[in-house]
Structure 1
Amino acid sequence: MYKFVYGDIFTQNTNVIVMPANPKPVIGNGIDKEIYKRAGAEELLKARQEIGELKYGEVKVTPAFNYDANYIFHCASPKWIDGKHDEKELLAKCYRDSIELAKQMGSRIIFFPLLSSGMQGFQYDLAKDIAEEVCKDYEEDNSIDIRIFLRKRLSSGNRYDRKSLEFYIETHTYPDNIEEIYKQYLSFMKNMPEDHEISMNAEIMRLQVENKRKEQEQINAVKKKAEKRKNSSAVDYIVYQYCRMQYKSLSDFSFNETDDEFPSFEDLYEKYKERCNLKNDSKVAERCNLNRDTISRAKKATRGISRDTLFALSLGLRLSWEEAEEFFISCDKAIYTDYQLTEAEKRRENVFRFCLKRGVYDIAEINEYLFDSNMLILGNNAVA
Structure 2
Amino acid sequence: MKRVRVIQEDITKVHVDAIVNAANSSLLGGGGVDGAIHRAGGPAILEDCYAIRRRQGGCPIGEAVLTGAGNLPAKYVIHTVGPVWNGGSKQEDQLLANCYRRSLQLAVRHHVETIAFPNISTGIYHFPKARAARIAVKTIASFLEQDHQLKEVLLVCFDEDSKRICEKFVENPAASEEH
Instruction: Report the TM-score range of the alignment, normalised by the length of the smaller protein.
Output: 0.7 to 0.9
Whether the 8 Å CA contact 2:64–2:78 is kept in 1: the answer is: yes
More helix by share: 1
Matched to 1:95, the amino acid is Y
Secondary structure of 1:148's aligned partner = strand
Does residue 155 of structure 2 align to residue 148 of structure 1? yes
Which residue number corresponds to residue 44 of structure 1?
Answer: 45
Specify every segment of 5 or more residues in structure 2 that has no aligned partner in the other structure, as ranges.
Answer: 163-179
What is the distance in 2 between the residues matched to 1:12 and 1:139?
Answer: 25
Higher relative contact order structure (alpha carbons within 8 Å, sequence separation ≥ 6) = 2
The runs of at least 4 consecutive aligned structure 1 residues that moved more than 6 Å come to none
What is the distance in 2 between the residues matched to 1:91 and 1:148?
Answer: 15
Cα offsets for 1:98-152 (capped at 9, x unmatched): 1111111111001000111111111110010000111212158542111111223
What is the distance in 2 between the residues matched to 1:63 and 1:11?
Answer: 15
Q: 1:1-384 alignment to 2 at 5 Å?
A: 1-40=3-42, 42-52=43-53, 53-137=58-142, 138=144, 141-144=147-150, 145-150=152-157, 151-153=159-161
What is the distance in 2 between the residues matched to 1:100 and 1:55?
Answer: 16
Q: Percent identity?
A: 29
Matched to 1:37, the amino acid is R
Matched to 1:121, the amino acid is H
Cα offsets for 1:321-357 (capped at 9, x unmatched): xxxxxxxxxxxxxxxxxxxxxxxxxxxxxxxxxxxxx
Query: CA separation of 1:25/1:97 partners in 2, compared to 1, >3 Å: closer, same or farther?
Result: closer
Secondary structure of 2:13's aligned partner = coil
Query: Normalising to structure 1: TM-score of the pair?
Result: 0.38
Whether the 8 Å CA contact 1:124–1:153 is kept in 2: the answer is: no
What is the distance in 2 between the residues matched to 1:119 and 1:69?
Answer: 25
Whether the 8 Å CA contact 1:114–1:127 is kept in 2: the answer is: yes
What do you get for the CA RMSD once the two structures are aligned?
1.8
Query: CA separation of 1:38/1:3 partners in 2, compared to 1, >3 Å: closer, same or farther?
Result: same
Which is higher, the Rg of structure 1 or of structure 2? 1
Which residue number corresponds to residue 267 of structure 1?
Answer: none
Secondary structure of 2:130's aligned partner = helix
What is the distance in 2 between the residues matched to 1:153 and 1:112?
Answer: 16
Whether the 8 Å CA contact 2:14–2:116 is kept in 1: the answer is: no
Query: What count of residue pairs does the alignment treat as equivalent?
Result: 153
TM-superposed CA distance for 1:10, in Å, is 3.0
